[in-house]
Amino acid sequence: MSASFEEKLRRFAAVAVRVGVGLQPGQKLYVNANIEALPLTRLVVEEAYKAGSRLVVTQLYDEQLNLTRYRHAPRDSFQEYAAFLIDARLKALDEGYAWLSILADDPEILRGQDPELIRQASQTAARFSKPFSDRISGFSTNWCIIGAASPRWAQLVFPDEPPQRQIERLWEAIFKVSRVDQDDPVAAWQAHVQNLERRVQQLNAKRYAALHFRGPDTDLRVGLAEGHLWADGAGRAQNGAKCVPNMPTEEVFTTPHRERVDGWVRSTKPLSLHGNLLEGIRVRFKQGQVVEAHADKGQEILRHLLETDDGARRLGEVALVPHSSPISTSGLLFYEALYDENAASHIALGASYDECLQGGMSFTPEQKRAAGANDSLIHIDWMIGSEQVDVDGIAPSGSVEPLMRRGEWVD
């Protein structure tokens, strides 16, 4: 007999706490959640206490309140930020809290709003949040991000279904790609993480100098940073706890060299960004920098993105994902990077990850830059892989090895 929705929702909460966050007995937990995800949030809090947490703190947010700001706030106020909120989060990290974010966002909440105001607000938030985001991405604690179905999100993913069925289908999709529909989700995740770790070990042993992507409108050589390390969707925090920061995850990823990316590349899936959809992105890199950029839809948003700062025109991540990933085989566009980036191989404009450099967790900014890492206020993933894209690994000697053919691993 298949599990009921309530049983699956509770399994999801348990997996998020025990595998995603990797919550340790006695550890406190900070939960940041969309108010649309309140039923799941309540179960997460219950599961956290069952797992031995001493204290669970929740912070709920409502996207409609942010939309009200765009509609009514003074236009000269969008470079202001409530910095004390970041101070509270940093203090929580100092006190050893684990961190869980629950998304249930409307991908089009800011559709039709002034792109310049979106740019100002996004850059301001990124600038003030950077000390916190740097510590999170640096695994100063164990953390995880998951998604929860909401009416507006479900309507966008399943526009031809009646409202109740839209929600049901989005939950079904979330459960499936998060392995919650399996009899033992925890065991399924453990096996999946082991497979990703084996792939990482293989790639780290190769020590490729570059990757070469070839496909329709794509001929891109991505040089890899000096001392680069491949990583997977699981990580170990500085407190020793193992976590899965993004759930779901299907990728293995590493750090490109900020000055060694050349050629053309075209997106293979739309990018949902700040309530807008960017389609048909086509970019040319020269010596690591974007020198031409076009989008069939969302050209102005793309331009604003690239103008964020000096690092926004360079890559901070390259990731490999097989075309047969559960997100890809679902045939769905989720309009949410947490899911869509796990449907295809992708690159990210902006900041790189310290964990993907040998010694990177203790490097100074100067040392990171010398190794080829990139720094920026942004980190925006967009998909460049498909069943029509091949990937080669290029050794320091120049020899070429097939890594992926028609979007699948070559073993």
37: which 2 tokens?
């995800």
- pLDDT digit string, tens, across residues 256-268: 999 999 999 999 9
Task: Give the fold, CATH level 3, of 5-177.
Answer: Thermophilic metalloprotease-like (3.40.1830)
Other CB atoms within 10 Å distance of the CB of residue 206: 12
3-class secondary-structure state, position 289: strand
373: which 2 tokens?
């890492």
| Contact assessment for residue 143 and residue 21, using Cβ atoms and an 8 Å cutoff | yes
Give the whole-angstrom CA distance, residue 352 versus residue 349.
Answer: 9
Other CB atoms within 10 Å distance of the CB of residue 187: 12
pLDDT at 1: 55
- Look up residue 143 and give its amino acid: W
For the CA atoms of 17, 22, 24, 25, the dihedral, rounded to the nearest 10 degrees, stands at 40
pTM higher than 0.85 for the full model? yes
pLDDT at 289: 97
- The CA-CA-CA angle for residues 56, 30, 109, to 5°, reads 125
3-class secondary-structure state, position 325: coil
Sequence ranges of the domains in the chain: 5-177, 207-235+249-409
238: which 2 tokens?
């500085």
- pLDDT digit string, tens, across residues 122-143: 899 999 999 999 899 889 999 9
* E strand map for 17-85: 29-34, 56-61
- pLDDT digit string, tens, across residues 194-244: 999 999 999 999 999 999 999 999 999 999 999 999 999 898 999 999 999
